[in-house]
Amino acid sequence: MTNHWRDIKNADLILINGANPAEAHPVGFQWFMHAKLDPTKGPGRGGGAKIIHCDPRFSRTSAVADIYVRIRTGTDVAYFGGLINYVLQHNLQHATYVAHYTNASFVVKEGYGFHDGLFSGYDPATRTYNPASWAYEKGPDGFALRDMSLQHPRCVFQLLKAHYARYTPEVVSEITGIPVEDFLKIAAVVGEMGRPDKVMTIVYAVGLTHHTTGSQLIRSGAVLQLLLGNMGRPGGGMNAERGHANIQGNTDHAISWEILPGYLAVPLPGDDTIDAYIAKHAPKKLDPHAWNFFGTNYKKFLVSLLKAWYGDHATPANDFAYAYLPKPEGNCSWLSIYDAALRGKMEGIILSGMTATSIGPDSNQVLQALARLKWLVVMDAFPTTSSEFWHAPGMDPTAVQTEVFLLPTTHWIEKDGSFTNSGRWVQWKEQVLPPQGQARHDHWILADLLHRVRDLYQREGGAFADPVLKLTLDYKDPLHPTLDELAQEINGKDLTTGKRLATFAKLKDDGTTSAGDWIYTGSYPEKGNLAKRRNGVQDPAANDPTGMGFYPEWAWSWPLNRRVMYNRASADLDGRPWDPKRPGIVWNGERWVGDVPDYPPTMSPHDPNAWLPFIMTGEGVGRLFSNSLLDGPLPEHYEPMESPIVNPLHPAVSASPVAFLYDRAAGRLDRFGTPDEYPIVATTYRLTEHEHYVTMQIPRLVQLQPEPFVEMPAGLARERGIANGDWVRVRSKRGMIEVRALVTNRAGQLDLGGKKVWQVGIPIHWGFIGVAAEKHPDRAQHWLANALTPFVGDANARTPEFKSFLVQIEKVS
């Protein structure tokens, strides 16, 4: 989240797309209700914030929303694009903000273009773009040219306007299925949010990310928020609701394949030295008034990370052990790993805290991939669909060559440590129960494994052993490091004094500081672990002095305990809040006060050298147009890989032209279905009663949702002679499930420019393991929802397209 959960109470309008917070985040959802019940909030004259839930299904979030509108899954770029067009056509954007706080004024190079569904620079042979033409025109000083009148035909503002002029309400309706008049009702309310005294938040989750166009779906919402001047403001922002309690912490500490801790890039082949790596990956300063904080300090963050990992073995003489970092040639995303396994190129896989069989797309193909490994290690508190895959119903154990190890691990309730929530709050928790049986902490198992691998290298030698042998393990007991020690290491210290640092501003690139993750520097300074702080609602007057819900001494929020990111943009050019009732930071004549400023604390807005508001970007402003993604500088609607219609905007380029097609690349047959065989649009989702797959082991939760089902429209059920509660077979090109029919108008029909299409929803939680599966062993073989989903992902992040695919449904006789 750019903002945080509690901050949602400050909003006038809450757009929810690709998310179901009432079910997935019921505790965080209280803040939506606070806004709704607060008569001082809301569009027009107030009376309570309004919630607009735009979703394929009418869910428990819709049940309390002011407006629910049904959208075809995977088409939110068209929805947001239509809203962007509406705002621009009616001149409803926040004009000052757009001119000064976004790159609207930046002039793009000649040669950039968008024709027939393709941006300039496309190579059909490799299905990739060369983004060279998506750059700014530069002046003799090397900085980007700007036209503050926003009239230059190649300035971002004009390009944006032209790009989205195609997204008329009629086109939006044809793509999304939202009737024109309903779309216009929403647009009118959203358009009001460009006023400085109004503010809107956009909340999203995996309903936006799980698409071949996932990154662009999110960007389309961010572009709308920049146009309305809502980024950086309390009650505004682009807010990702993260999955389980610590998925934000996972991302921060580089669980993702393309980043090191703190969102530094993973080096690529050819990045042979730190300087070459910095030259390629650090953002470049593009405006004389851009601080370019990230680009300027990139090297300090990397060197401090290497010092945390390699200690005394990282020296100026050996380029701080930079050579020890892997420089992977190929893509290492989840899909790529299982594709490699399928091709017989993987020796083994260690699963920690996840079950590949259930979470991956096209689970029949994943099961084959697991069966081709030499070994599989599952670290989990319970048996999972992965630890038991080799004797799952339908599998022939004699055909599985994989040796499977199940290492019992502790559950989070059996250890201390921190959770980082969606709002970037790092909150420490205590151990509630001692570990049971032989369960060990995941990090102790890994420490043990590392020591054994080291012993082997030491005894037997091997190629390039140094990256393993020279790792520093500065813990009291290196086989059993405590999470407190790890938290201190992540925070980092001044190596000359040995004292822990209070801010990443003190990090250096000369090897005298360390930080395991620079964005967490300051979470555990000399005065103690700030994630343990609990000064909250027991005394709101003292603990929340601004009344904006920042609660600066409740836990700690990265970066630097800042509660709302980009908060310089919450104030106008003179440092006054856009809305005096909802200040983020305010210039008091001497310094910025309020939230922890995302800006030099004493830099006057009237300083002729004052930095632009978005200090992390090379431009110094928010990017309406960006060359940082692989699939285009402006979000464009592409159909899901499996779609009931051809893209009305550009039929020749219907789906993403750059999504990587694994089956095709590996010489396997395509596993995509066509709408004549599979006419029904399907999406997957989670229920409030369960958490992913683990709660299949919890009887009280299984009581609440005991069996899998497909939520299907009453009209479709009538058409197919299906009654509520019947067992039905749902088939896609890749597999099938046999589940109950839950017949309801909460799922419905879409009118796509005259073509009527049914849309259904399938919860993901069930499989052949758990309380329910034990009760129905005969049926549970066909309960993996991901048997249906396609093995293809987002062009950038490679996040699978779990949320849009085609199926056929029939009654099981």
Partner 1 sequence: MFTDTSICIGCKACEVACKEWNQLPGNEPEYRNDSFDNTGELDAQNWRHVKFIDRVPEAPMTTGNGQAWLLMSDICKHCQHASCMEVCPTNAIIRTEFDTVYIQPDVCNGCRDCIAACPYGAIGFNPKDGLAHKCTFCYDRLQANMPPACAKACPTQSITFGPLRELHKKADERVATLRAQGYDQAQLYGRDASVYGGLNAFFLLMAEPEVYGLPNARNAVLPRRNNRGGYLGVLVSAALAMVAGIVALRRRGSDTLQDTTPGEGS
Residues in contact with partner 1 by CB under 8 A are 22-23, 26-27, 29-30, 33, 36-37, 39, 47-48, 51, 53, 58, 60-70, 177-179, 182, 185, 687-689, 699-707, 709, 713-715, 724-725, 740, 742, 744-746, 748-751, 771-772, 775
Structure tokens at 449: 């494994």
Q: Which is nearer to partner 1, 487 or 739 (CB)?
A: 739
Shortest CB 645 distance to partner 1, Å: 16
Q: Which is nearer to partner 1, 414 or 751 (CB)?
A: 751
Shortest CB 178 distance to partner 1, Å: 6
Instruction: For residue 198, give the nearest of 87, 67, 344 by alpha carbon.
Output: 87
CA distances to 205, 242, 370, 718 from 3, rounded to whole Å, are 14, 13, 40, 45
Shortest CB 191 distance to partner 1, Å: 18
**Amino acid in position 103:** N
Within 10 angstroms of residue 360's Cβ, the number of other Cβ atoms is 25
Shortest CB 750 distance to partner 1, Å: 8
| Whole-number Å distance between alpha carbons of 797 and 366 | 19
Within 10 angstroms of residue 666's Cβ, the number of other Cβ atoms is 12
Mapping DSSP to helix (H, G, I), strand (E, B) and coil, where does residue 538 land?
A: coil
Structure tokens at 75: 């088409």
Shortest CB 177 distance to partner 1, Å: 7
Q: Which is nearer to partner 1, 318 or 749 (CB)?
A: 749
CB within 8 Å of 588: residues ≥ 6 apart: none
Shortest CB 708 distance to partner 1, Å: 9
CB 507 within 8 A of CB 298: no
Q: Which is nearer to partner 1, 441 or 746 (CB)?
A: 746
| Whole-number Å distance between alpha carbons of 23 and 21 | 5
Shortest CB 354 distance to partner 1, Å: 24
Q: Which is nearer to partner 1, 296 or 744 (CB)?
A: 744
Q: Which is nearer to partner 1, 288 or 777 (CB)?
A: 777
Scan for tokens 């019921």, then name that residue: 26
Q: Which is nearer to partner 1, 328 or 706 (CB)?
A: 706
- H helix or E strand, kind and range, residue 404: strand 403-408
Strand partners, 378: 351, 406
Q: Which is nearer to partner 1, 549 or 583 (CB)?
A: 549
Q: Which is nearer to partner 1, 620 or 708 (CB)?
A: 708
Instruction: For residue 50, give the nearest of 198, 184, 180 by alpha carbon.
Output: 198
Mapping DSSP to helix (H, G, I), strand (E, B) and coil, where does residue 595 land?
A: coil
Spell out the long-range contacts of 605-610 with Cβ–Cβ below 8 A and sequence spacing 24 or more. Answer: 605/571, 605/573, 605/574, 605/575, 606/574, 609/289, 610/289
Instruction: For residue 156, give the nearest of 189, 221, 108 by alpha carbon.
Output: 108
Q: Which is nearer to partner 1, 733 or 782 (CB)?
A: 782
| Whole-number Å distance between alpha carbons of 629 and 258 | 13
| Whole-number Å distance between alpha carbons of 662 and 793 | 9
Q: Which is nearer to partner 1, 419 or 709 (CB)?
A: 709
| Whole-number Å distance between alpha carbons of 204 and 193 | 18
Q: Which is nearer to partner 1, 182 or 494 (CB)?
A: 182
Shortest CB 248 distance to partner 1, Å: 19
Shortest CB 669 distance to partner 1, Å: 37
Shortest CB 424 distance to partner 1, Å: 21
Compute the CA torsion angle 678, 20, 361, 711 (nearest 10 deg). Answer: -40
CB within 8 Å of 667: residues ≥ 6 apart: none
Phi and psi, residue 130, nearest 5°: -95, 110
Phi and psi, residue 175, nearest 5°: -85, -45
Shortest CB 66 distance to partner 1, Å: 6
Structure tokens at 370: 């697991």
Shortest CB 76 distance to partner 1, Å: 15
